[in-house]
A and B are shown apart, each in its own frame.
Chain A
Amino acid sequence: MTVDTSVAPGHVPGPLSRPMSPVGVGGGAALPVRLQGVVKSFGTLTVLRGIDLTIPAGQFLAIVGRSGCGKSTLLRLLAGLDTADAGTITIGDAARRAESPVRLMFQEPRLLPWARIRRNVEVGLSGRGAGPQAGALAQEALARVGLAERAGEWPSVLSGGQKQRVALARALVSSPGLLALDEPLGALDALTRLEMQELIERVWTAQGFTAVLVTHDVGEAVALADRIVVLDGGAVAADVTVDIPRPRQRGDAWAAAIEGDVLRRLLGGASQTTNGLVSPSGALPVATGPQA
């Protein structure tokens, strides 16, 4: 991955209810992301074939696609766990990355079973020299996900949803500039999943980081994201703006229409969709089609 210092164009204000400033409560500055011609292969299998994507600072982007479309690979590239074979990935500039890092939330909580909850959250401050403040910062991050009183317990006594909340606190404690979420709610039951979605939206609104969520649940993408990118065969097949004001209502007809549109694209019906989605309330401008 080549990380150059050219910063993507200035902050594009998010949708209606988003705070205008990219600087969040946690003190981190949201990082803009730009991918240019990103290619990634594993052996003879080309997983990503030339991805071009610009994510303005502070945007909540969802990436949806079938299994094996390359969405998780794209996220691993953003998090720096893998390197691209070709193309460039620019995530803010080095100075801002040092201050507000890129953090990844995995599909599994990946907590250290031998460390108490607070110590697990402190892992999020690794290499950031938080020193004696670490404990207090971790406690504050735990409070943000509603688990302040469980700080002294072992991870093994927590439920799956609570463990994922600890993992979220671990990602938030360093005031990330970019939070990459790799289907973090995939293994949770439906109700816990809804609670987690609300929590993620809440902390994103409060801290104002750039968020990239990989999911196969289109409903989840529509509920959370400003914008949904559909990946198919390692390329961007559609780029949909979700222009629904927050807080969003579940089961909203507008959301259902966008969900239906994205699902059609996912199932390969992209050629039949017209450019511009008709929402139930009339003519709402919803940008569709691959972005230039």
Chain B
Amino acid sequence: MSRLRGLLPWVVPLLVLIIWQAGSELGLIRATVLPAPSDVALAGWRLLLSGELLRNVGVSAWRAGLGFTIGGAIGFALGLLNGLSDLSQRLLDTSLQMVRNVPHLAMIPLVILWFGIGEEAKLFLVALGVFFPVYVNTLHGVRSVDPHLIEMAGAYGMSSRALIRRVILPGALPSVFVGVRYGLGITWLTLIVAETISATSGIGYMAMNAREFLMVDVVVFAILIYALLGKVADSVTRLLERRCLAWNPAYRNA
């Protein structure tokens, strides 16, 4: 029974694939609009054999990972700082909120002028996009730690370092994870746009290159790869969430 339940989330994607394949076989979907899943799989196989797939996926994953780490770390650090210090929050929060309201993708022309089409441009955009959700949610998490617990820790003589490590950080963690998951979504979104507009490698570049030669199957395959990578990143986060938040009944064996 539990095995069947494990398969349940995959029923809808599988059904879509079957209908899609059948529609293509029956000629209801033209191959120039949307090639059959089997053709897309074949295109993927060819890319895998040529080594192009792994190289581009590797480049994209590296950009995503590094950009996410930089943006996430800065967001987390500033969120923690502004959550703990009133002075720092008064000084910085308003400015950050103003910058937050600029869509980070609107910076692309400027970023290209600054960095050209090198790696820095993509890393900068990803980091900028990830920064805000992580910052906002960390700040919210730190601020919403139960003041009763903080008072208890003070009454029991806990040092400020122990207070941060044992009370504030664990209390803020569920909210930080929300920020991380938002940030991951933004990572892939940013990467697709950045690699499509200005790149010489990566999955986005692979898709744009295929468009030039009207290779629709490769384009569709690239899109599916993005979906898969996004899902993998999300699953890893959920696993981490379940491990780190095991104390919370809401996250236990979800």
Interchain CA distance A101-B158 in the complex, whole Å: 13
Within the complex, which residue of B148, B156, B248 is in contact with A103, where a contact is CB–CB below 8 Å? B156
Question: Which stretch of B1-9, B126-134, B163-171 is in the interface?
Answer: B163-171
Given known A-B contacts A113-B248, A114-B247, A115-B247, A126 and B158 have beta carbons under 8 A apart: yes
CB contacts under 8 Å to A, within B108-151, are: 148-149, 151
Name B's interface SS.
Answer: helix
CB contacts under 8 Å to B, within A110-140, are: 110, 112-115, 123-124, 126-128
Residue of B at shortest CB range from A101?
B157
Residue of A at shortest CB range from B249?
A156
* Residue B152 lies at the interface, judged by CB distance under 8 Å to chain A: yes
Question: When the two chains form their complex, are residues A112 and B170 in contact, meaning their CB atoms are under 8 A apart?
Answer: yes
Question: When the two chains form their complex, are residues A127 and B247 in contact, meaning their CB atoms are under 8 A apart?
Answer: no
**Number of chain B interface residues as a range:** 20 to 34
* Residue B246 lies at the interface, judged by CB distance under 8 Å to chain A: yes
Within the complex, which residue of B149, B158, B166 is in contact with A127, where a contact is CB–CB below 8 Å? B158
Within the complex, which residue of B153, B170, B171, B245 is in contact with A123, where a contact is CB–CB below 8 Å? B153
Binary A-proximity of B153-188 (CB < 8 A = 1, otherwise 0): 111111100100011001101000000000000000
Question: When the two chains form their complex, are residues A114 and B158 in contact, meaning their CB atoms are under 8 A apart?
Answer: no
A8 to chain B, nearest CB (A): 23
* Residue A106 lies at the interface, judged by CB distance under 8 Å to chain B: yes
Interchain CA distance A123-B157 in the complex, whole Å: 9
Question: When the two chains form their complex, are residues B166 and A108 in contact, meaning their CB atoms are under 8 A apart?
Answer: no
Given known A-B contacts A81-B151, A106-B148, A154-B246, A112 and B156 have beta carbons under 8 A apart: no
Interchain CA distance A156-B250 in the complex, whole Å: 11
CB contacts under 8 Å to B, within A81-95, are: 81
Question: When the two chains form their complex, are residues A112 and B166 in contact, meaning their CB atoms are under 8 A apart?
Answer: yes
What residues of chain B lie closer than 8 Å to A40, measured between beta carbons? none
**Number of chain A interface residues as a range:** 20 to 34
Question: When the two chains form their complex, are residues B151 and A123 in contact, meaning their CB atoms are under 8 A apart?
Answer: no
What residues of chain A lie closer than 8 Å to B247, measured between beta carbons? 113-115, 154-156
What residues of chain B lie closer than 8 Å to A214, measured between beta carbons? none
* Residue A170 lies at the interface, judged by CB distance under 8 Å to chain B: yes
Question: When the two chains form their complex, are residues A110 and B249 in contact, meaning their CB atoms are under 8 A apart?
Answer: no
Interchain CA distance A168-B197 in the complex, whole Å: 63
Given known A-B contacts A112-B170, A114-B171, A126 and B248 have beta carbons under 8 A apart: no
Question: When the two chains form their complex, are residues B156 and A124 in contact, meaning their CB atoms are under 8 A apart?
Answer: yes
What residues of chain A lie closer than 8 Å to B245, measured between beta carbons? 114
What residues of chain B lie closer than 8 Å to A179, measured between beta carbons? none
What residues of chain A lie closer than 8 Å to B154, measured between beta carbons? 81
B158 to chain A, nearest CB (A): 4
A57 to chain B, nearest CB (A): 21
Residue of B at shortest CB range from A173?
B156
Within the complex, which residue of B149, B157, B173 is in contact with A110, where a contact is CB–CB below 8 Å? B149
What residues of chain B lie closer than 8 Å to A155, measured between beta carbons? 247
CB contacts under 8 Å to A, within B207-222, are: none
Within the complex, which residue of A104, A113, A114, A115 is in contact with B155, where a contact is CB–CB below 8 Å? A104
Q: Beyond A112-B166, A114-B171, A115-B170, list 8 extra A-B contacts (CB 8 Å).
A: A81-B151, A106-B148, A108-B148, A110-B151, A112-B149, A113-B247, A114-B248, A124-B156
Q: B residues bordering A, Cβ < 8 Å?
A: 148-149, 151-159, 162, 166-167, 170-171, 173, 245-249
A-B contact pairs, 14 of them (CB 8 A): A79-B155, A106-B148, A108-B148, A110-B148, A112-B167, A113-B247, A114-B171, A114-B248, A115-B247, A123-B156, A123-B158, A127-B157, A154-B247, A155-B247
CB-based closest 6 A-B pairs: A127-B157, A114-B170, A126-B158, A110-B152, A114-B247, A154-B247
